[in-house]
Chains A and B, each alone.
Chain A
Amino acid sequence: MDITELTVHELKEKLDKCEITSEEITKSYLKRIDEKESDINAFVTRLDEDAINKAKEIDSEKKANKKLGEYAGIPIGIKDNMCTKGIKTTCSSKMLENFISPYDGTVVNKLLNEENMINLGKLNMDEFAMGSSTENSYFKKTRNPWDIERVPGGSSGGSAAAVAANMVPWALGSDTGGSIRQPASLCGVVGLKPTYGLVSRYGLVAFASSLDQIGPITKDVRDSAILLSLIAGKDEKDTTSVDIPKKDYTLSLKNDVKGLKIGVPKEFFGDGINKEVKDVLYKAIEKYRELGAIVEETSLNIAEYALAAYYIIACAEASSNLGRFDGIRYGYRTKNYETLKDIFVNSRSEGFGAEVKRRIILGTYVLSSGYYDAYYKKAQQVRTLVKNEFAKNLKKYDILLTPTSPITAFKLGEKSENPLEMYLSDICTVSVNVAGLPRNFNSLRIR
């Protein structure tokens, strides 16, 4: 039996039955990482020694009947934009190459300190979560485990690739415009972007505050439901988190779709969508029908506008959120300065990569006086329309079925010279972030 091929719920069963120890699990994963990392490049920071030590500690605490979390001793990988106390949090940026957070974010705290999971390391991503291929990392380009010539998607490419390559049993990603779902799709794993406000953002380095959500990347749907149950919940430190009763999402898993009303928005099956992708979806639709679901075509006539609104809002918020990386308190500071302005300008020019700078400039532009009304304000109005359009559809249907990415995994370097084309590849995912709020709405993608 190869331990690393098991899902988390399978691992947990074995742990509970004392058929296996946390140390054994951890060692198996570390061995697997050793084998695969040179091909995959999923990790920014590896924590081998800490992981083994903690696993041993948990095993002995378990023996001593100490009260531990339900998933104590299960390893996890964490996207490198979530703050981990005492461990580097780089956002895959030169700007934060040596940044060590003085605190644990809420979700990290829940999983590592309360649940006693084992952190195998921090996972690669597009710099500051900006990108769809993980090629924008300052450190390394993560590769798709199915074909290492191809990208794993992004920005949570390290998380998706690590799960797909069995280097971690599950991982945390973050999704601002598809950054969990698209890499999960490209790597063939399960990714879920929770409803905005369901999971605390405290400790998630902000890209676009009104869109960002942390979510699970897992091997199967049950693990996704488990991890979501563990991370969801109101947090006093994040006023945008929503106060709803704690829920065990695994209870909603039933092996039956009979009577489930599925809406298929026709706009998501247009010209831009690759035939291969469409064929898979049509097959899935047939399968659902066979199993007794009611599948109907519907209209969600806002996808294009949502994409435009998304890039305006996300860049605007990012331009402000990334202002704190100014070379003063932490992070990269230029060596080349005489005046205060030099510190600001040169630190940011040297510390940020091209894509991050592009979005900061875009965001600064759309917020500038004279342009605010035409761009930012208009985008917010579009946002309301998108939300209403979703609400209307979700009154009729239990779920909406759309592709996640218009294309399958592309080759490294294939799109990185054309940012606009890269932006367009987000068309299927962003409208959900823009709509943001509908409670208990999720965009679970099953591959």
Chain B
Amino acid sequence: MSRDDYEVVIGLEVHAELSTKTKIFCSCKTEFGGEPNTHCCPVCMAMPGALPVLNEKVLEYAVKAGLAMNCTISRDSKNDRKNYFYPDLPKSYQISQFDKPLCEHGYVEIVKPDGEKKKIGITRIHIEEDAGKLNHDDYGRGSLVDLNRAGVPLIEIVSEPDMRSVEEADIYLKKVKSILEYIEVSDCKMQEGSLRADVNISVRKKGQKEFGTRTEMKNMNSFKSISRALEYEIERQIDVIENGGIIEQETLRWDEVSGKTFSMRDKEDAHDYRYFPEPDLVPIRLSEEYIENIRKNLPELPETRKQRYLSEYKLTEKEANTLTASKYLSDFFEKGVKISNNPKAVCNWLLSDVARILNEKEFEPEDIPFTPEDLAELIGLIDKGTISSKIAKDVLEEMFESSKSPSKIIEEKGWIQISDESAIKEIVLKIISENPQSVSDFKNGKDRALGFLVGQAMKETKGKANPQMLNTMFKELM
């Protein structure tokens, strides 16, 4: 049997740090970075006698996420303790939610590249606190605990095992990220760890009803490594089964360098977390009014925005999809349009040249170093004939390197398009006199000769001559 005979089943548990100003159970800053153990107090350091107080913003953000992912919001919810020992977990329990999560029974709709839509079920979304961080000494002298992150609020978004390919998992995760960005509840900075995923994966023979035994990879924090790890794990599981083995239910560690997964712990020594209701916090009761108020004020979601792009800006389905996938990119687009009043051009620039450079540099849209105003200015300069679209591409490259405005770059580089009639005439006459053969070819009806001559003129002017004017001038003078 081959890989094609197997079906892949994937479920994701996404952890997103909420972008509240203060921690979930105390008023310490949530800010990333900072000297170790400076954003701490008796509560998040788990000093004896300290007690948690739930940050109401956390509820609001989590309810927002739940509504944006079509969940039912529990009006009656509570916090629970998840008990385990680890040096980065100061209380030796994490305050989380066990059997009464805040949000349940939702879904996220994904669009596959062929345009097919699919709903991925959301089992639950619950609130919990992040743990601290261990800084391991490079020389093996031990580890130091930094509790700045301890108590930063998280939501855990648990999906149904609804994904059937690595691609679906990748699109789903991007969609979740996009939704969280749209509703502005998380920075979703994967490199800072504010968005991480636990990936559950199993394979089964096509047609088989029961799920296969799954393995789990924890704390994955880049799209690329999730895809690579999944690919690897699918191959590995199929290999094991094909060779007559059985898959062990276990937690795996993905090693980025070797590109392999390694066993961390198996089911036998699985934790018993001894969940029980957190007695230091009162139960969470939300009124219908509270929930409805959040629903009413929910910002525009990617899907709605996409529809608006189709009707308002007449973009294609694909363009609208790509732009709205990233809130940052699509906000960038709208600001650019507002100034330039040229949606098609802004869209083209963002989806072709800007996207290409981002890709080359392995940048996220957030890393674009210039403003929408700059891009609009660039488009304006082409429209006005100040630069050619060919030069504009060079200007764009330059805009990624320096933080200068397009007009400044053009000025400094001397890239202003030659549109002065007498200057064009002078160049054209020079090229005509240097290329008698092409001139006569043109006169004999060979249109291609004109292109060659214009090319020569562009070369002569290092691409700065206005191509339309060159065309007209050549025809006129020949």
Instruction: Identify the A interface with B (CB < 8 A).
Output: 81-83, 89, 91, 96, 99, 101-103, 105, 201-206, 208-210, 236-240, 316-317, 319-320, 323-324, 326, 328-330, 340, 344, 364, 367-369, 372, 376
Interface residue? B45 (CB, 8 A): yes
Which of A83, A202, A210, A319 contacts B279 (CB under 8 A)? A210
Ordered by A's residue number, 30 sampled pairs between the chains whose C-beta atoms are within 8 Å are A83-B47, A83-B48, A83-B49, A101-B49, A102-B42, A202-B49, A208-B279, A209-B280, A210-B279, A237-B51, A239-B280, A239-B281, A240-B280, A240-B281, A240-B282, A317-B279, A320-B83, A320-B93, A320-B274, A323-B83, A323-B85, A324-B91, A326-B85, A326-B87, A329-B46, A329-B90, A344-B85, A364-B274, A367-B83, A369-B274
Bound-complex Cα distance A364 to B280 (A) = 18
Q: Which residue of A lies closest to B43 (CB)?
A: A237
Interface residue? B247 (CB, 8 A): no
Contact A206/B49 with A320-B83, A328-B87, A369-B272 known, Cβ cut-off 8 Å: yes
Chain A residue numbers with a CB within 8 Å of B52 are: 239
Most A-side CB within 10 Å, residue of B47, B87, B274: B274
Smallest beta-carbon distance A57→chain B, Å: 27
A316 touching B281 by the CB < 8 A rule? no
Instruction: Identify the B interface with A (CB < 8 A).
Output: 42, 45-54, 81, 83, 85, 87, 90-93, 145, 272, 274-276, 279-282
Other than A91-B48, A240-B280, A328-B145, give 14 A-B pairs with Cβ distance below 8 A: A82-B49, A103-B42, A205-B48, A205-B49, A206-B48, A209-B280, A238-B53, A239-B51, A240-B279, A320-B93, A320-B276, A323-B83, A323-B92, A369-B274
Q: Which residue of B lies closest to A364 (CB)?
A: B274
Closest 9 CB pairs of A and B: A323-B92, A209-B279, A367-B274, A210-B279, A205-B48, A203-B49, A83-B49, A324-B46, A205-B49
Smallest beta-carbon distance B51→chain A, Å: 5
Smallest beta-carbon distance A169→chain B, Å: 25
> Chain B contact residues: over half helix, strand or loop, or mixed?
loop
A237 touching B53 by the CB < 8 A rule? yes
Q: Which residue of B lies closest to A327 (CB)?
A: B87
A323 touching B93 by the CB < 8 A rule? yes
B91 touching A340 by the CB < 8 A rule? no
Bound-complex Cα distance A324 to B49 (A) = 11
Smallest beta-carbon distance A51→chain B, Å: 23
Chain B residue numbers with a CB within 8 Å of A330 are: 47
Chain B residue numbers with a CB within 8 Å of A316 are: 276
B47 touching A103 by the CB < 8 A rule? yes
A201 touching B85 by the CB < 8 A rule? no
Chain B residue numbers with a CB within 8 Å of A328 are: 87, 90, 145
Q: Which residue of B lies closest to A322 (CB)?
A: B92
Chain A residue numbers with a CB within 8 Å of B281 are: 239-240
Chain A residue numbers with a CB within 8 Å of B81 are: 320
Bound-complex Cα distance A369 to B272 (A) = 7
Q: Which residue of B lies closest to A368 (CB)?
A: B272
Q: Which residue of A lies closest to B270 (CB)?
A: A369
Bound-complex Cα distance A422 to B225 (A) = 58
Smallest beta-carbon distance B18→chain A, Å: 19
Bound-complex Cα distance A405 to B15 (A) = 51
